[in-house]
Amino acid sequence: MLVQMNYKLVPIIFFILQHVDGSARIDPLVDTKVGLIRGLRAANGEYSMFMGIPYATVNIVNPFGPSIPHPGFNDTFEAFDDSAICPQIEEFHKTITGNLDCLHLNIYVPNSATSKNRLPVLVWIYGGGFSIGFSGRYLYGPRYLIRHDIILVTINYRLGPYGFMCLDTPEVPGNQGLKDQQLALKWIKNNIESFGGDVNEITIFGESAGSASVDFHLHCSNEKLFDKIILQSGSVIGPWVITEPDRAAPLKLAAYLGFATEDTAEALSFLSSVDTNLIIAATSDLSLSFGACVEQEYENVDRFITENPININVPRAKNTPILIGYNNDEWLANNVNKEPEYFDGLNIFRDNLANYFSFDNEELQEMEQIVRHFYNGDEPLDVNAKRNFINFESDFYFNHPTERTISRYLDSGATNVFYYVFSYVGGRNFVKDRHNITVGGAAHADEIGYLFDISYMTEESTLEDQLIIDRMTTLWTNFVKYGNPTVETSDIIPVIWPPVTEDKRHYLDIDTDMKVKQRPFSNRMAFWDLFYKLNYKYVNGYRENLIRQPMCENCIK
């Protein structure tokens, strides 16, 4: 039976009573601006789950273009299913899966949320190189975070060719996946009050490509839909983030699938009618990759990335509390388990410099020697150089871009920037566990296992792992609530974590023995400080923007 309640007096949550196996179950029902949404009570009874809520729809005529806001519900929407996944080759079983009815979000609400006790909101944007990822509880279970009285939201967005094809046309301008995220944030801003959320306290956070996405939202000049940000191992100036678009991608995909044409519009029309699994398979077979790009300007077409980020300041950083960091052995998993022959003749120093700097041959040879000697001395480039390769790529892709990003924020007037390095190695290190890595420190994405209740990690946490879970979730949710991760010390958080300043680069080393330290990897970071100071004009993306506007030199140096 329906419990009669006055919606105007109690706008947050009312309840449906259902008889299940002879007993009453209370399922939450929420009246939102887009209609009634019914969720599920968690098994432990401590929170409610509203899963698979559609916030946008994909245009079936042009599935590679921008999505549109979901129109809402005429009937009660049953928010019981978090299995939606956008088209991709998912990482766990390497199977092609997903469909375009995937622009959904999941909301997890503690029982403490009411109209008189609105809770801060934390929104998760997953990583995966803009090509894989999904928001469901299989990987991102909410239990650890929401026990701290915050509302957690996890969102899906399109990936690969559907999310990041960039053709420099009004129909497919690029960054569709980022624009999906923006629509999700608008939905949250407009509706989260109905779930007991505080619209003035919304923090967005992400890891890797999700972290870069968060940084893009900070850079974007569109409406600001959040108040704080958390960046985990990724920012917009990571050399892997902005890509040079393959504008012939539709022609290549269409030809591979049996439709040869030299007309991009014809190719897109054909591809729009093809099963998404075939598109994803063809993308993989052709080794096509898609990522964030600088968009061209068209009338009546919203742009998300208007300039290469290396050329612009970040004015929004001034009034935005920021928590940012990385793991202490980021690129470990990409090298540690490779066979010895993989390293024979491998020159990652030259290859990376060639990919991300516009050196001529003589300059490239000189710079490659400098970098190689710094990391590897005069030793051969073989399996014995594995550790040096890991250090180099960790610094090049994540560590030093984070350092430069912090400098950019400070140059833009930011005063509340909290810097961390995650160093803990335990049973819930996500990537090391998946790849059975038993050496080294914390690899890229390892921290996820201490923020989220990963469904397949079913063994009871050790006391040490539980301590890190408690520390991570307390620090993160303190930041969500107060803009400060350490309001006071406690047995779990024994130190005060100070923000960085122009003069002192404090960071929190998150480990069993948690300490505030100064300047992580200081020698390696000093090397790259000097390298970029001397070579910033050669960074890809610099020259193409030099004519159009003055260079933000500090953004690179």
Tokens of 175: 């960054």
* Degrees, nearest 5: CA angle 477-478-481: 85
Tokens of 551: 């260079």
Q: For strands 322-327 and 197-207, give the pairing.
A: unpaired
Query: What pLDDT is stored for residue 3 in this prediction?
Result: 31
pLDDT at 39 over 70: yes
Query: What pLDDT is stored for residue 344 in this prediction?
Result: 87
Residue 56 φ/ψ, nearest 5 degrees: -155, 165
- Give mean pLDDT, residues 70-93: 97
Size of the chain in residues: 557
Q: Which residues pair with 89 in a beta bridge?
A: 96
Instruction: Give percent of the chain above pLDDT 90.
Output: 90
- Give mean pLDDT, residues 213-229: 96
Q: For strands 56-57 and 68-69, give the pairing.
A: antiparallel
* Least reliable range by pLDDT among 3-7, 157-161, 453-457, 459-463: 3-7
Q: Which residues pair with 125 in a beta bridge?
A: 155, 206
Task: Report residue 455's pLDDT band, with 50, 70 and 90 as the boundaries.
Answer: very high
- Rg of the chain's alpha carbons, rounded to an integer? 24
Decide if 543 is inside a domain: no
Q: Which residue type occupies 448?
A: I
Report the alpha-carbon distance of residue 227 to residue 480 in Å, rounded: 9
Q: Determine contact, residues 133/124, Cβ cutoff 8 Å.
A: no
Rounded to the nearest 5 percent, the helix, strand and coil shares of the chain are 35, 20, 45
Of 470, 469, 440, nearest to 457 (Cα)? Answer: 469
3 state DSSP class of 317: helix
3 state DSSP class of 305: coil
Q: In terms of C-beta distances under 8 Å and separation of at least 24 residues, what long-range contacts does 319-322 make, across chains too?
A: 320/218, 320/227, 320/228, 320/229, 320/414, 320/416, 321/227, 321/228, 321/229, 321/416, 321/417, 321/418, 321/479, 321/483, 321/484, 322/228, 322/229, 322/230, 322/231, 322/409, 322/414, 322/416, 322/417, 322/418
pLDDT at 282 over 80: yes
Domain count, the chain: 1
Query: What pLDDT is stored for residue 235 in this prediction?
Result: 98
Task: Report residue 27's pLDDT band, with 50, 70 and 90 as the boundaries.
Answer: confident
Query: What pLDDT is stored for residue 543 in this prediction?
Result: 56
Decide if 191 is inside a domain: yes
Query: What pLDDT is stored for residue 17 in this prediction?
Result: 36
pTM for the model? 0.93
DSSP for 191-229?
HGGGGTEEEEEEEEEEETHHHHHHHHHHH--S----SEE
Positions marked active-site: 208, 330
Decide if 194 is inside a domain: yes
Report the alpha-carbon distance of residue 188 to residue 55 in Å, rounded: 9
For residue 29, give every residue at least 6 positions away whose Cβ sits within 8 Å of its Cβ, in sequence order, or none. Answer: 13, 14, 15, 16, 36, 37, 38, 39, 76
Task: Report residue 524's pLDDT band, with 50, 70 and 90 as the boundaries.
Answer: very high
Could you count the other beta carbons within 10 Å of the beta carbon of residue 24?
Answer: 8
Decide if 375 is inside a domain: no
pLDDT at 15 over 60: no
Could you count the other beta carbons within 10 Å of the beta carbon of residue 459?
Answer: 8
Report the alpha-carbon distance of residue 524 to residue 407 in Å, rounded: 16
Report the alpha-carbon distance of residue 150 to residue 531 in Å, rounded: 42
Decide if 418 is inside a domain: yes
Query: What pLDDT is stored for residue 22 in this prediction?
Result: 37
Decide if 341 is inside a domain: no
Report the alpha-carbon distance of residue 353 to residue 368 in Å, rounded: 7
Q: In terms of C-beta distances under 8 Å and separation of at least 24 residues, what long-range contacts does 249-257 make, across chains too?
A: 249/161, 249/165, 249/167, 249/288, 249/290, 250/64, 250/165, 250/167, 252/286, 252/288, 253/161, 253/279, 253/282, 253/283, 253/286, 253/288, 256/282, 256/285, 256/286, 257/282
The CATH number that applies at residue 76 is 3.40.50.1820
Instruction: Give percent of the chain above pLDDT 70.
Output: 93
Q: Which residues pair with 17 in a beta bridge?
A: 26
Please report, to the nearest 10 degrees, the dihedral formed by the alpha carbons of residues 396, 499, 308, 555 taken in order: -80
Task: Report residue 113's pLDDT band, with 50, 70 and 90 as the boundaries.
Answer: very high
Decide if 378 is inside a domain: no
Task: Report residue 24's pLDDT band, with 50, 70 and 90 as the boundaries.
Answer: very low
pLDDT at 544 over 90: no
Query: What pLDDT is stored for residue 267 in this prediction?
Result: 98
Could you count the other beta carbons within 10 Å of the beta carbon of residue 441?
Answer: 20
- Give mean pLDDT, residues 223-233: 97
Task: Report residue 553's pLDDT band, with 50, 70 and 90 as the boundaries.
Answer: very low
For residue 85, give every residue at least 6 positions away whose Cβ sits within 8 Å of its Cβ, in sequence order, or none. Answer: 97, 98, 102, 134, 136, 156
Query: What pLDDT is stored for residue 20 in this prediction?
Result: 38
* Degrees, nearest 5: CA angle 542-545-546: 80
Decide if 539 is inside a domain: no
Domain of residue 269, residue span:
43-330+393-519
pLDDT in tens, 309-356: 999 889 999 999 999 999 999 999 999 999 999 998 899 999 999 999
Q: Please, what's the largest Cα pairwise distance for the chain?
A: 80
pLDDT: is 362 or 3 the higher one?
A: 362
Of 240, 221, 181, 395, nearest to 312 (Cα)? Answer: 221
pLDDT in tens, 477-519: 999 999 999 999 999 999 999 999 999 999 999 999 999 999 9
Report the alpha-carbon distance of residue 515 to residue 30 in Å, rounded: 44
Q: Determine contact, residues 163/177, Cβ cutoff 8 Å.
A: yes
- Give mean pLDDT, residues 370-376: 98
Burial 514-549 (b: 16+ CB within 10 A, else e): beeeeebbeebbebbbebbeebbebbebbeebeeee
Q: Determine contact, residues 158/177, Cβ cutoff 8 Å.
A: yes
* Averaged confidence pLDDT in the chain: 92
The gap between the terminal CA atoms of the chain, to the nearest Å, is 65
Query: What pLDDT is stored for residue 26 in this prediction?
Result: 64
Report the alpha-carbon distance of residue 399 to residue 21 in Å, rounded: 55
